[in-house]
Amino acid sequence: MTTTTPAVASRANEKSFKDKEKPTEIRSSNIIAAKAVSDAIRTSLGPKGMDKMIEAANGDVTITNDGATILKQMQVLHPAAKMLVELSKAQDVEAGDGTTSVVVLAGSLLDAADKLLKRGIHPSAISDSFQRAASKCIEILESLAIPVNLEDRDTLIKAAATSLNSKVVSQHSSLLAPIAVDAVLKVSENNNADLRDVKIIKKLGGTLDDTQMFDGLVLPQKFANDFGSKKVEKAKIGLIQFCVSPPKTDMDNQVVISDYTQMDRILREERLYILNIVKQVKKAGCNVLLIQKSILRDALNEMAIHFFNKAKIAVVRDVEREDIEFVCKALGCRPIASLDHFVPEALASADLVEEVPDAKFIRFSGVSAPSSSGTVNVVIRGSNKLVLEEADRSLHDALCVIRCLVIKPALITGGGSLEIELSQKLAEYSRSLVGLDGICFRAFADALEIIPYTLAENAGLNPIATVTELRNRHANGSKYAGINVRLGTVTDILAENVIQPLQVSISAINLASETVRSLLKIDDIVHTVR
């Protein structure tokens, strides 16, 4: 590097890039704003990272360690800073984990780019070089990956645990990690897993230790009526999308009744209308009726409850609109949109439908539908709402980690070991390059060290000493040397079981460099008049 630097710098000076002042200013203001965002969440990285308490305008409080969640709720005004928020979101969609790392990495790359800009290198040249460096990184990453067998449940659990370990709920990772693995493996097919088939239900009460996974279907409701018991054996289940209450007109209007005969008539009509529905339901052989939530009218009125009680039909009301697809898949039935279609063929069957006593949810077990093998329910229990929400987010990350492995069964080691190895390999490669590429690749390689640096800092270690030690170990061939936050030293991190999916790192490097490149190419911000 030292040999190429002066030569290139002087060449840059000779026909130095004469930019007007404004683009430079805009660029540096963009970089400053984006770096501020990245600095704000840096302290949350890693198992010893801090959590953030977020207070929303309406007073709601969230406690989280998840980068995407923190950024989503941050009120970011600067357009360039918003790009980092988007970056974190993109990583969440693409990989699900690594949402903090990606932003920290982008911040560091911006820093590197800033220094290169100050040396007079044209932003487009940096941008192009960074793209090539990112591709080279991916190439090196692939060569470092450790293949994993999806049958190897233990390894998958370790990967899920690594993701959970850096969360607020880390002490429960031994329970949550196997749940995440089993849930994803159950819904995976053709090397992919659709996480919409894993339904997470949050129930206040109990502790996280009571979190359980269920086959079949679990609904967070209680039975809406009292049909004499809390369970139904040999259930025939119907899912309706219409209401069992008197119809209403589309517009708000009033019916004024002036005498008793008219009143009687209305009551009689209503009674007949509801009785007709209940009879049809009974005739089809249905004994558990699920009713989709309606915002227009009551799903069920008093009279309907009375008739359903008499007919010994269990009713569950307010099934959420967005859950319908899941319920249908889990039970193997289709939703019934009108009474005419309420026929025995449209019903699903289950051995047992019961209200779980203290937990207040309804469980459908022994569902005899071919498609039920493709769905799974996880009921998270927790003593307060904050814990529940964070457990949900953390479990989501763990599920995503396993999904990444199902899509691409390859692992890499964490604890900063990968980044150091990558940085050294890339720096080595940069020496074979001539011209600007050499400098930019080197800068890119150095920027990767931010991850181990930050991990060490957050773990209360001396970051410079730790990173130097890591460099040293890696240079001497121990490619799995990483920061062991438990012992507070540098050890073989593979033996410590800190492993994470290759896909997460690939996506982080790709997305971070892409964002940095687009930030570099902006030379003006145009405000429109509304």
Give me the active site residues, please: 66, 99-100, 397
Selected binder of ligand ADP within 31, 47, 126, 511 (CB under 6 A): 47
- Specify the residue for token string 């896909």: 503
Query: Which of these segments, 44-52, 264-272, 293-301, 385-393, binds ligand ADP (CB under 6 A)?
Result: 44-52
Q: Are strands 314-319 and 288-292 parallel, antiparallel or unpaired?
A: parallel
Question: Closest residue (Cβ) to Mg ion?
Answer: 97
User: Restricting to residues 85-124, which ones interact with ligand ADP according to CB under 6 A?
Assistant: 97-101
C-beta closer to ligand ADP: residue 157 or 455: 455
Contact between 85 and 72 (Cβ < 8 Å): yes
Of 101, 1, 126, 97, the residue nearest 44 (C-alpha): 101
228/355 Cα distance (integer angstroms): 13
C-beta closer to Mg ion: residue 163 or 491: 163
Binding site for Mg ion (CB under 5 A): 97, 163
Tokens of 337: 């949109």
C-beta closer to Mg ion: residue 101 or 424: 101
Of 302, 420, 260, 286, the residue nearest 353 (C-alpha): 286
- Taking the complex as a whole, how short is the minimal distance between the CB of residue 71 and Mg ion, in angstroms? 14
C-beta closer to ligand ADP: residue 220 or 414: 414
Torsion over CA: 63, 69, 71, 76 (sign): negative
498 binds, among Mg ion, ligand ADP, none (CB under 5 to 8 A by kind): ligand ADP
Q: Are strands 231-240 and 288-292 parallel, antiparallel or unpaired?
A: parallel
489/462 Cα distance (integer angstroms): 10
- Taking the complex as a whole, how short is the minimal distance between the CB of residue 163 and Mg ion, in angstroms? 5
Selected binder of ligand ADP within 4, 30, 64, 166 (CB under 6 A): 166
C-beta closer to Mg ion: residue 274 or 511: 511
Query: What's the one-letter identity of residue 469?
Result: E
184/402 Cα distance (integer angstroms): 7
Contact between 441 and 129 (Cβ < 8 Å): yes
Selected binder of ligand ADP within 37, 369, 422, 451 (CB under 6 A): 451
485 binds, among Mg ion, ligand ADP, none (CB under 5 to 8 A by kind): ligand ADP
- Taking the complex as a whole, how short is the minimal distance between the CB of residue 74 and Mg ion, in angstroms? 18
Of 414, 9, 361, the residue nearest 201 (C-alpha): 361
481 binds, among Mg ion, ligand ADP, none (CB under 5 to 8 A by kind): none
- Taking the complex as a whole, how short is the minimal distance between the CB of residue 362 and Mg ion, in angstroms? 33
C-beta closer to ligand ADP: residue 217 or 412: 412
423 binds, among Mg ion, ligand ADP, none (CB under 5 to 8 A by kind): none
Of 281, 301, 290, 287, the residue nearest 219 (C-alpha): 290
Query: Which of these segments, 42-50, 138-146, 177-185, 304-312, binds ligand ADP (CB under 6 A)?
Result: 42-50
User: Restricting to residues 395-434, which ones interact with ligand ADP according to CB under 6 A?
Assistant: 414-415
- 7-30 CB burial, b ≥16 within 10 A, e <16: ebeeebeeeeeeeeeeeeeebeeb
Q: Where are the alpha helices (H) located in 284-314, listed in sequence order?
A: 302-310
- Taking the complex as a whole, how short is the minimal distance between the CB of residue 235 and Mg ion, in angstroms? 40
Query: Which of these segments, 32-40, 45-53, 123-131, 149-157, binds ligand ADP (CB under 6 A)?
Result: 45-53
C-beta closer to Mg ion: residue 69 or 163: 163
- Taking the complex as a whole, how short is the minimal distance between the CB of residue 98 and ligand ADP, in angstroms? 4
Of 259, 223, 163, the residue nearest 355 (C-alpha): 223
- Residue 218 binds ligand ADP, judged by CB under 6 A: no
Of 455, 337, 422, 459, the residue nearest 133 (C-alpha): 422
Residues whose CB is less than 8 angstroms from the CB of residue 511 and which lie 6 or more positions away in sequence, other chains included: 87, 90, 91, 94, 102, 106
- Taking the complex as a whole, how short is the minimal distance between the CB of residue 400 and ligand ADP, in angstroms? 10
Q: What is the contact mask toward ligand ADP in residues 50 to 69, using x (rule: CB under 6 A)? A: ---------------x-x--
SS3 250: coil
* Neighbouring C-beta atoms of residue 497, cutoff 10 Å: 16
Residues that bind ligand ADP (CB under 6 A): 44-47, 49, 65, 67, 97-101, 162, 165-166, 414-415, 451, 455, 483, 485, 498, 500
